[in-house]
Structure 1
Amino acid sequence: MAGNPGLTPYTDETLKMLGEKGTKHIQVLCPGFAADCLETLEEIAVQNREIFLEAGGKQYEYIPALNADAAHIEMMVNLTAPYR
């Protein structure tokens, strides 16, 4: 939808605020993604790490998507099996 600002508060702003308020350790994941893409790897894993650490955070962990993990593939096969 044109002009839609998306979901707020924005992740980068939230991470900055948390670092400034004393949060030292954070784990971040993107549950809406079945596989990592350039957006998650660059924006979420790299840029947001820098924002959080520069704001005073000490440890930032990006939890990767399931990607091509065997359990993930098996789950997708099982979910789609009824529609074959």
Structure 2
Amino acid sequence: MLLNTNNQEITLVGGTYVVGADLAGGTLDLQFQYERGTKWYSVGELEDGKGQLVEIPGFKSKVRIVKTGSASLELAQAM
């Protein structure tokens, strides 16, 4: 799944995900929100061009990216 629009939100089943960030000279912050929550939490710093494992908590969490420039993020559930 590709996220490439600022404040783009999707709903995910909690679990472990493989994420790859392409900063393309910009910045990117991956954030999640618990089901029925209102506050957004940062997942942490993502390294440019490296696949990383990220744990998304909860059963149905919302995930979004906050970005500048042409940064994008690809994520897939880990097997």
Provide TM-score, normalisation by structure 1: 0.27
Please state which structure has a larger fraction of its residues in strand: 2
Provide TM-score, normalisation by structure 2: 0.29
Please state which structure has a larger fraction of its residues in helix: 1
